[in-house]
Amino acid sequence: MRETDLVNNNGLLSFRYPVYALYTSREFPLPQTLIAPFWADVDTRNGAGTVYFRETTDCAIMSKVAQDVQLAFPEQLSFTATSVVIVTWYRVGYFNLNSDELNTFQCVLATDGSRSYVLFLYLDDGINWITGDASGGVDGFNGTEAYVGFNSGGPNSTYFAVEGSGTPEVVDIETTSNVDVEGLWIFQVSGDNIITAGCGIPDQLNVNETILSYNSTFINSTATYSCEDGYSLVGDAVRTCLSSGKWSGNPPDCRQIVNCSELMVEPNEGLSVSYSSNTPYNITVTYSCEDGYSLVGVTVRTCLSSGNWSGNPPYCQIVNCSELMVESNEGLSVSYSSNTKHYNSTATYSCEDGYSLVGDAGRTCLSSGNWSGDTPYCQFGLIVMSSNGINRIAVIVIPVVIVTVVLGLLVVLIVIFYACTIKKRKKMKPVTNEDTRCIAFKNCSSYQLEEIPSDYINQLSKHVISGSSLKIQETVGRGEFGIVYRGLISVKNDIPQAIAAKTLRSFYSKSDIDSLLDECIIMMSFDNLNVLPLIGVCLDLGPAPYIIMPFMSRGSLLSYLKKERPNLTVADTSEEDIILNVRKQLLSICLQVGNGMCYLASQRFIHRDLAARNCMIDDDGIIKVADFGLSEDIYSQNYFRQLEGSKDSSSSPVKLPLKWMALESIHDGLFSEKSDVWSYGVLCWEVFSLGRVPYPGLDPVGVVELLNTGGRLYTPNNEACSKEIYSLMTSCWSESPDDRPVFSDLVSSINTLIEPLAGYLDFTDINFCLENDIKV
């Protein structure tokens, strides 16, 4: 391998002839034979390091060298060193050293007489400078950098330079390798040729589009090629480092841009698609529906680098209009051309005999989901068209004699009726502290007397309000059996307070009065920010008692959701902060209702009719869980009139809110906190659906059939409703009551959902206040 080894302190070995004044490295090729483990401006004066040299036949050292060679060249397992030369540059500095940063490296020459190998070794944290001041460096850097490699010399000199030689990257040689061992480089010297243990960095075409990945360049290691997004690979994706020191095959190319297939749509479903450009990759498609249809799913999809479209295809769903509400006591009724009340279907109004329709008899379901025109009404008498085109009442002319007779009979009947009324009033007892108190109430065609048990009187005594302090005004709501008036209450010299006064409608029974008084007694103990309180009960204002409560000026939660629907509707294309803001507002509504229901559950009170229509909003925007028909007229189409199975066949039929009821309540008449939890889940669905009717398109019988087969309400079509929120709803609809959460758990879960969104909500719309035991 050599004739004479000559060591230069500047990180060089030469043969035959010494190296003079080569303190600054030079780029190969050069005329002299050189081995450069780290050719740089080394200066060992002033105690800045030592250079060691020795030749050894120590068995342990030769065995270690043989193992390293066999590691690098596994096909040469028979190599056994007969001579080893070790040169070490130990903690050497650079010329004009002005710091304590020193280098340590080593060169090992090994031979068995026919094959020769060179090992470069670099200590961990052993390279701390790469040039000296004589080579233009400052503090060991920024001059002519160190060179690592081999030079054969002579007129046709061949050479080999380790990657990074002569560049600032040479400082990292201690952490790199060609045999997967940091700081170890092994080469075979064969004549003028240098055979590296690895294959070097794999070559690649189209560097800007090609992504190259490899862990090492050692024999049998692999290199993997891939392409940037939008390009596909042409050629072998994997190449192997062969024992010849070359990579197998040829580098692949990234040439073809990915194409996504054309999207197919069914035109008869009203769905259409448009493309953002003709460029195959990274284009977007936008879906839309014809008038009368709404899009369900994503609006935009993107062509991915895989050649597939993002997301799933949406579909068009025909728009449905809500049920039309009519006041049945006005003789008005409505029929539909289709049970589903979808786009372009019609609703036809009619009146009972003796009434005439004022307004349009037909309305059409529009693409907006609203009905065309306004609601007509029924007016007694005949409607005719005058010559100037204005409707007027045509009074049927009655012969004067007949009119006179009829009027006379009416006068006689009025006199008799008045006399009977005076007589009955004289027989009624005044209110006393006796065990019972008599009240008169109307039952179909006559007055009867019923007794209020003394238990009621005693329990309500502290809450009885005199009718003289009340002023009843207009009607604000009607329920199945109750009616609610707006009014004022005057207490001493205070300003009159707005109140809501609830009493029974006509045709009620004694059990209805008992139920009303039971409601008063229950409400007396309520004391929660999110539960509607009782002001008192009036027993002398009319034939039936009046429950007096604060008047909720902002109406019901249901009416609020409908009114604010344009402001709270968010689509998948809305900005993220808008979606989060709406989500927080709607969650805060659910939390307030949950807080009220949590309190009622702690008082062992079961609501039985929890829905958005039965939650009220006060002047400050605080939501109150209220009763049972206090908000607005119940949607009769969403209730099922239970006529069978009643123990008392003479009792009034009962309407049940089936779309809000739990399975065990529907089938077995069982009510509990867990059945209220089911209703709460439906209320949350109403909130995130912004006041839409649950189970749209299904009548109550269809709802029961759906629930019996495991079906449930679908996810609200609102981007504000996340998967976690819908999961909370579905947990309320578990078939077994034991599998449903309690209200305290629901309040905790909603708090957890609200907490990360705290920075997005402005509470100016609904003032969100909770009691101290609820975490905001």
Q: State the CB neighbour count (10 A cutoff) for residue 744.
A: 15
**Does position 596 have pLDDT exceeding 90, yes or no?**
yes
**Which strands form 5-8's sheet, in the order they lie side by side?**
5-8, 12-15, 34-39, 147-151, 159-161
Q: Pairing between strand 546-550 and 536-538? A: antiparallel
Domain boundary among 498, 519, 550: 550
Co-location of 168 and 232 in the same domain: no
Domain boundary among 550, 568, 601: 550
Give the per-residue pLDDT at 227. 83
Maximum average pLDDT range among 84-93, 198-207, 367-376 = 84-93
CATH of the domain at 593: 1.10.510.10
Co-location of 636 and 748 in the same domain: yes
Backbone angles phi, psi at 39, to 5 degrees: -80, 110
d(CA 551, CA 500): 5
Query: Rounded to whole angstroms, what are the CA distances from 76 to 70, 111, 344?
Result: 6, 13, 87
**Does position 522 have pLDDT exceeding 50, yes or no?**
yes
Residue 713 tokens read as 């309400």
Q: Is residue 543 part of a domain?
A: yes
Q: Is residue 253 part of a domain?
A: yes
Domain count, the chain: 6
What would you report as the CA-atom Rg of the chain, rounded to the nearest whole angstrom?
A: 47
Give the per-residue pLDDT at 521. 81
Co-location of 296 and 378 in the same domain: no
d(CA 128, CA 272): 66
> What DSSP character marks residue 33?
-
pLDDT tens, residue by residue, 291-321:
888 888 888 988 887 778 888 888 888 888 8
Q: Which amino acid is it at 69?
A: V
Residue 246 tokens read as 């070359």
Co-location of 626 and 754 in the same domain: yes
Mean pLDDT of 409-429: 67
Residue spans of beta strands (DSSP E) within 69-209: 83-94, 103-111, 116-122, 147-151, 159-161, 184-190, 193-196
The band of 419, judged by pLDDT with boundaries at 50, 70 and 90, is confident
Comparing CA positions, the residue from 362, 356, 363 lying closest to residue 391 is 356
Backbone angles phi, psi at 507, to 5 degrees: 65, 50
Co-location of 192 and 284 in the same domain: no
Give the per-residue pLDDT at 274. 83
d(CA 616, CA 499): 13
> What DSSP character marks residue 134?
G
Q: Which amino acid is it at 469?
A: S
CB contact set of 658 (below 8 Å; sequence gap of 6+): 638, 639, 640, 666, 700, 703, 704
**Does position 694 have pLDDT exceeding 70, yes or no?**
yes
Alpha helices in 429-564 (DSSP H): 454-460, 510-524, 557-563
The catalytic residue among 41, 43, 68, 609 is 609
Q: State the CB neighbour count (10 A cutoff) for residue 222.
A: 15
Co-location of 518 and 501 in the same domain: yes
Q: Is residue 498 part of a domain?
A: yes
Co-location of 636 and 752 in the same domain: yes
Q: Is 674 annotated as a binding residue?
A: no
Q: Which amino acid is it at 236?
A: D
Q: What is the percent of the chain with per-residue pLDDT over 90, rounded to a whole number? A: 23
Mean pLDDT of 685-691: 95
On whether the CB atoms of residues 65 and 102 are closer than 8 A, the answer is no
DSSP string, 60-107: HHHHHHHHHHHHH-GGGTT---SEEEEEEEEEEEETT--SS--EEEEE
d(CA 571, CA 488): 44
Domain boundary among 165, 196, 227: 196
Backbone angles phi, psi at 516, to 5 degrees: -65, -40
Co-location of 48 and 145 in the same domain: yes
CA 394 to chain centre: 62
On whether the CB atoms of residues 202 and 251 are closer than 8 A, the answer is yes
Q: Is residue 204 part of a domain?
A: no
Comparing CA positions, the residue from 465, 461, 469, 456 lying closest to residue 517 is 456
**Does position 390 have pLDDT exceeding 70, yes or no?**
no
**Does position 5 have pLDDT exceeding 90, yes or no?**
no
Give the per-residue pLDDT at 704. 93
Vertex 203, ends 197 and 204: CA angle to 5°? Answer: 155
Co-location of 249 and 380 in the same domain: no
Backbone angles phi, psi at 391, to 5 degrees: -70, 140
Q: How many Cα atoms sit within 13 Å of 151 on the Cβ side?
A: 22
Vertex 487, ends 483 and 493: CA angle to 5°? Answer: 150
> What DSSP character marks residue 568?
H
Cis, bond preceding 29 (omega within 30 deg of 0)? yes
CB contact set of 776 (below 8 Å; sequence gap of 6+): 751, 754, 768, 770
Co-location of 49 and 101 in the same domain: yes
d(CA 629, CA 631): 6
Query: Rounded to whole angstroms, what are the CA distances from 519 to 56, 487, 504, 513, 523?
Result: 106, 20, 12, 10, 6
Query: Rounded to whole angstroms, what are the CA distances from 154 to 30, 33, 38, 151?
Result: 8, 8, 22, 9
The band of 47, judged by pLDDT with boundaries at 50, 70 and 90, is low
On whether the CB atoms of residues 562 and 691 are closer than 8 A, the answer is yes
Name the pTM for this structure.
0.43
Which residue bears the tokens 């304590």? 100
d(CA 321, CA 649): 37
Q: State the CB neighbour count (10 A cutoff) for residue 341.
A: 20
How close are the terminal C-alpha atoms of the chain, in Å? 82
291, with CB counted inside 10 A (0-12, 13-18, 19+), is exposed
Q: Which domain holds residue 166?
A: 5-196
CATH of the domain at 372: 2.10.70.10
Co-location of 186 and 282 in the same domain: no
Does the annotation mark 765 as catalytic? no
Tabulate helix, strand, coil % of the chain (nearest 5).
25, 30, 45
Q: Is residue 648 part of a domain?
A: no
pLDDT tens, residue by residue, 439-497:
323 333 233 334 577 778 888 888 888 888 999 988 887 765 678 889 999 877 778 88
The band of 31, judged by pLDDT with boundaries at 50, 70 and 90, is confident
CATH of the domain at 481: 3.30.200.20
> What DSSP character marks residue 487?
E
Co-location of 532 and 583 in the same domain: no
What's the mean per-residue pLDDT of the chain? 79
Vertex 705, ends 703 and 709: CA angle to 5°? Answer: 115
Q: Is residue 740 part of a domain?
A: yes
Which residue bears the tokens 């028909």? 629
Q: Is residue 768 part of a domain?
A: no
The band of 101, judged by pLDDT with boundaries at 50, 70 and 90, is confident
Comparing CA positions, the residue from 637, 737, 725 lying closest to residue 679 is 737
Q: Is residue 280 part of a domain?
A: yes
